[in-house]
Chains A and B, each alone.
Chain A
């Protein structure tokens, strides 16, 4: 795939079991850090009614949406449990704590 790695900061900028967002031309992206220091990035928009997932509570490899409690997998972007829906996941690279995300080149070009 045609990846375009963009540096977004250091892992320590994100609280453990927390999230920060990154504004991009392709919409807001939520970058999560789990208790085990894994980093995931997904679209910051709940598949239910667009709630900001970056504001949810992070547990395991999932986040609970702050608006109506959908639980979204950070790995797959799928809604877990009885709920249905999916958000886009974004590849993240972690080199010694320096984080970059890969944006869809096509989307970027289109946005330009």
Chain B
């Protein structure tokens, strides 16, 4: 019979434990999780990149909602367990849900420590532990005002760097004389302080907070020495405490953390504890590597294998602030029984120190240049006797054995059991053999199969070097293709940084992102213009000089320099009045060619540029607006006759198509966007090769996406089935907005979808109704500024200069 496994807390440790458990003993347990945080399991380590804008929350999700469904796990989001009844073997949440268990796992993590000073409860004082804290910081950062971070450790510095990148004026208060004193010696701490200050962050050491000032919300901080520092945000990052209160109330043995044995068993035989809340052999942990080890052990025990036992190991510390390299491992305190070897290079900002006891490394601090970290870690772990290489040890691995080697050779020289990924405890041999056995060629593949580089990402470089070694030329490191020769940055980086740094004009982007040319080129400027239009619809002033000619003059340029004009015919439907107006315009301006397009409307070709406003004026009188046949934007919505006429029609495909086109016209998109609605699966509107298509069926509307019928031919995939027209519209609009916000310029939906994954798109649009609604609303907001007919604007005089020569020099004048 399946047993009931209940887990309290849905953090990184139990998430990993379940992965092991489902692999080892699928179906053994019926799993229920209660999580106080209202969300799925995500990579908490990566909150700092989310804060700084280098990643989004979606990027750091470990198990999406689909994972819980697939594995039959019931997840209570936003339920805090308030009681464990060991006699009845039940747990009860603050929303009153009670669940019984055969086995219980407590994984409540840690709680941030709050220094007990007056004012600590004022609004505006927050800690740094979960996504809600990040959201609170981002909200505060919008003000661009002053922030204080209390605590100059790992978390505090990452928070400070993120807030500074978001435009806040940040001061770090640290009670000790140097930063990160638990991981760095004073010399490295000093270099770190300099690097932090170079980022515009003020650092005050030996700063003891006396009280937090403010009446309704925080206004500043007073230090012991009377100094007052104003601030609108105070982040406390002074340490964490194992979250063991619940276990204590239940009568379990609790010391600093919940006491467990090497098999992760608490003092109750049916209850295990894993993660930061657990205390093994007198130790509690705050980095994921040992927690993942706990997860592995706990999973084995749950699966019935009681052999695996937890063993302590030191985990190196790294700081995830872009541009600061530091590595710290083990014990580096001075002592009579210890020797140290130090290397300094002041100009290069490099500092290295190795602490040795009995000819064995017990601690390492590297600052500025950390590539030998893995090697030192390996020597320490194995307890290698270093006497033979003592003289050159500090120069690192490449120096041993004579001639300096390149970094690649250094990686090649690492033994197979050298640890590459500290977070996940993956060694070199596992990576290289998995690459070979599974035929992996991409970094994502290696991450998926080995977990290496899948947590904090600081070993990505090493993993890539291993891939190059194993695959040779077949591996082309994930070098980002720059947007163009004006920058080193790729499209994704630029998009992210525009948002992160709040850049709202092309010159601002070029300045802040260090463009190499003075005003860009014909490749980057239209892309930047689109990104800015998309991200700041209400604030950005569209730069016409950065638009391709067609979008600048709202017509399609032809090979002879004349233009073509395509008015909108909603859903491909027209009438005699419209056709008459077109006929009149054709006669009046002697338009040489009239053609029915592949997009169900009429194209007037061969019009002189000077005549465009007059042509539009006449078309406008008949109610026509621009069909945007030239736009990286919504082009056409093709329809078939549908249930109004067709004997097979199941729904009003024509009506829905017109409704969608009226809703979405005018929007700019990364590449052109074409839609179609067919009234039944016979698909006469060819909806299954469009960017987005709808196939009407008896039970509703099947939404399709990611088709193409241009340079590539690709049938669509199904996004999902919805019941009503309203839902169809909301889903289509949300999908479009997601695409608008994420794709690279000129990337059609099918290419974007291939890059980020069809399942991910389905998850966000079909399953996550909140997210869908938010996309939808952002689209609606931006339409307020986009739905202005460009033709009538120009008929009323906008951009007059475009349609007239600057001067006409006659024979008479010229000959003068």
Contacts of A14 in B (CB 8 A): 801, 806
Stretch at the interface among B120-128, B543-551, B777-785: B543-551
Q: Is A13 an interface residue (CB 8 A)?
A: yes
Interface size on B, residues (CB 8 A): 30
Output the nearest chain A residue to B486 by Cβ-Cβ distance: A59
Closest CB of chain B to A13's CB: distance in Å? 6
Q: Is B387 an interface residue (CB 8 A)?
A: no
Give 1 or 0 for each of B797-816: 1 = CB within 8 Å of chain A CB: 00001000111111101111
Output the nearest chain B residue to A17 by Cβ-Cβ distance: B545
Output the nearest chain A residue to B807 by Cβ-Cβ distance: A8
Q: Is B559 an interface residue (CB 8 A)?
A: yes
Closest CB of chain B to A42's CB: distance in Å? 14
Contact A57 B525 (CB under 8 A): yes
Contact A109 B815 (CB under 8 A): yes
Contact B557 A59 (CB under 8 A): no
Contact B559 A67 (CB under 8 A): yes
Contact B545 A16 (CB under 8 A): yes
Contact A60 B807 (CB under 8 A): no
Interface size on A, residues (CB 8 A): 43
Q: Is A20 an interface residue (CB 8 A)?
A: yes
Give 1 or 0 for each of A1-43: 1 = CB within 8 Å of chain B CB: 0001011110001111110111111101001001110000000
Give Cα A25–Cα B813 distance, bound, in whole angstroms.
Answer: 10
Q: Is A91 an interface residue (CB 8 A)?
A: no
Closest CB of chain A to B691's CB: distance in Å? 25
Contacts of A36 in B (CB 8 A): 518
- CB proximity to A under 8 Å, residues B757-812: 801, 805-811
Given that A22-B809, A57-B526, A66-B548 are known contacts, is A51 also in contact with B561, CB under 8 Å in the complex? yes
Contacts of A8 in B (CB 8 A): 806-807, 809
Given that A20-B806, A60-B518, A112-B815 are known contacts, is A15 also in contact with B525, CB under 8 Å in the complex? no
Contacts of A4 in B (CB 8 A): 814, 816
Given that A22-B807, A49-B559 are known contacts, is A64 also in contact with B521, CB under 8 Å in the complex? yes
Give 1 or 0 for each of B483-522: 1 = CB within 8 Å of chain A CB: 0000000000000000000000000000000000111111
Q: Is A79 an interface residue (CB 8 A)?
A: no
Closest CB of chain A to B119's CB: distance in Å? 51
Contacts of B815 in A (CB 8 A): 108-109, 112
Contacts of B517 in A (CB 8 A): 59-60
Closest CB of chain B to A47's CB: distance in Å? 15
Given that A21-B805, A24-B814 are known contacts, is A67 also in contact with B518, CB under 8 Å in the complex? no
Contacts of A77 in B (CB 8 A): none
Contacts of A34 in B (CB 8 A): 519
Closest CB of chain B to A98's CB: distance in Å? 12
Contact A17 B519 (CB under 8 A): yes
Contact partner of B519 among A25, A31, A35, CB < 8 A?
A35
* Best-surrounded residue of B521, B549, B557, B813 (most CB of chain A within 10 A): B549
Q: Is A103 an interface residue (CB 8 A)?
A: yes
Contact A55 B557 (CB under 8 A): yes
Q: Is A74 an interface residue (CB 8 A)?
A: no
Give Cα A8–Cα B548 distance, bound, in whole angstroms.
Answer: 26
Contacts of A16 in B (CB 8 A): 545
Contact B811 A25 (CB under 8 A): yes
Contact B808 A23 (CB under 8 A): yes
Contact A13 B801 (CB under 8 A): yes
Contact B545 A24 (CB under 8 A): no
* Best-surrounded residue of B546, B813, B814 (most CB of chain A within 10 A): B814
Contact A18 B814 (CB under 8 A): no
Give Cα A28–Cα B553 distance, bound, in whole angstroms.
Answer: 19
Closest CB of chain B to A106's CB: distance in Å? 12
Given that A4-B814, A67-B559 are known contacts, is A57 also in contact with B548, CB under 8 Å in the complex? yes
Give Cα A67–Cα B548 distance, bound, in whole angstroms.
Answer: 10
Give Cα A66–Cα B555 distance, bound, in whole angstroms.
Answer: 13
Closest CB of chain B to A43's CB: distance in Å? 13
Closest CB of chain B to A103's CB: distance in Å? 6
Contact B518 A108 (CB under 8 A): no
Closest CB of chain A to B730's CB: distance in Å? 37
Given that A22-B808, A23-B808, A59-B517 are known contacts, is A6 also in contact with B813, CB under 8 Å in the complex? yes
Contact A57 B806 (CB under 8 A): no
Give Cα A58–Cα B806 distance, bound, in whole angstroms.
Answer: 17
Q: Is A95 an interface residue (CB 8 A)?
A: no
Contacts of B809 in A (CB 8 A): 6, 8, 22-25, 103
Given that A55-B557, A109-B815 are known contacts, is A22 also in contact with B806, CB under 8 Å in the complex? yes
Output the nearest chain A residue to B804 by Cβ-Cβ distance: A20
Give 1 or 0 for each of B529-558: 1 = CB within 8 Å of chain A CB: 000000000000000111111000100010
- CB proximity to B under 8 Å, residues A50-106: 50-52, 55-60, 64, 66-67, 69, 71, 103
Give Cα A57–Cα B522 distance, bound, in whole angstroms.
Answer: 6
* Best-surrounded residue of A7, A36, A108 (most CB of chain B within 10 A): A108
Contacts of A59 in B (CB 8 A): 517, 519-522, 525
Output the nearest chain A residue to B808 by Cβ-Cβ distance: A23
Give Cα A58–Cα B557 distance, bound, in whole angstroms.
Answer: 17
Contacts of B549 in A (CB 8 A): 55-57, 66
Closest CB of chain B to A105's CB: distance in Å? 9
Contacts of B805 in A (CB 8 A): 20-23, 28
Contact A103 B814 (CB under 8 A): yes
* Best-surrounded residue of A17, A36, A57, A109 (most CB of chain B within 10 A): A57
Closest CB of chain A to B406's CB: distance in Å? 33
Give Cα A40–Cα B196 distance, bound, in whole angstroms.
Answer: 47
Give 1 or 0 for each of B546-579: 1 = CB within 8 Å of chain A CB: 1111000100010101000000000000000000
Given that A35-B519, A64-B522 are known contacts, is A20 also in contact with B814, CB under 8 Å in the complex? no
Give Cα A5–Cα B805 distance, bound, in whole angstroms.
Answer: 18
Given that A51-B561, A56-B549, A66-B557 are known contacts, is A20 also in contact with B519, CB under 8 Å in the complex? no
Contacts of B806 in A (CB 8 A): 8-9, 13-14, 20-22, 31
Contacts of B518 in A (CB 8 A): 35-36, 60
Contact partner of A108 among B519, B807, B814, CB < 8 A?
B814
Contacts of A24 in B (CB 8 A): 808-809, 814
Contact B811 A111 (CB under 8 A): yes
- CB proximity to A under 8 Å, residues B590-617: none
Contact A20 B801 (CB under 8 A): yes
Give Cα A111–Cα B815 distance, bound, in whole angstroms.
Answer: 9
Contact A15 B519 (CB under 8 A): no
Give Cα A61–Cα B544 distance, bound, in whole angstroms.
Answer: 18
Given that A20-B806, A22-B806, A31-B806 are known contacts, is A112 also in contact with B811, CB under 8 Å in the complex? yes
Give Cα A4–Cα B812 distance, bound, in whole angstroms.
Answer: 13
Q: Given contact pairs A57-B546, A111-B811, enumerate 6 new A-B contacts (beta carbons under 8 Å).
A: A22-B806, A50-B561, A55-B561, A56-B549, A71-B522, A108-B814
13 A–B contacts from the bound complex (CB under 8 Å): A6-B813, A7-B807, A8-B807, A17-B519, A17-B545, A21-B805, A22-B808, A28-B805, A35-B519, A55-B553, A57-B526, A59-B525, A112-B811
Among all A-B residue pairs, the 10 with the closest Cβ atoms? A64-B522, A20-B806, A17-B545, A57-B522, A8-B807, A24-B809, A55-B549, A66-B549, A23-B808, A35-B519
| Chain A residues at the B interface, C-beta cutoff of 8 Å | 4, 6-9, 13-18, 20-26, 28, 31, 34-36, 49-52, 55-60, 64, 66-67, 69, 71, 103, 108-109, 111-112
| Chain B residues at the A interface, C-beta cutoff of 8 Å | 517-522, 525-526, 544-549, 553, 557, 559, 561, 801, 805-811, 813-816
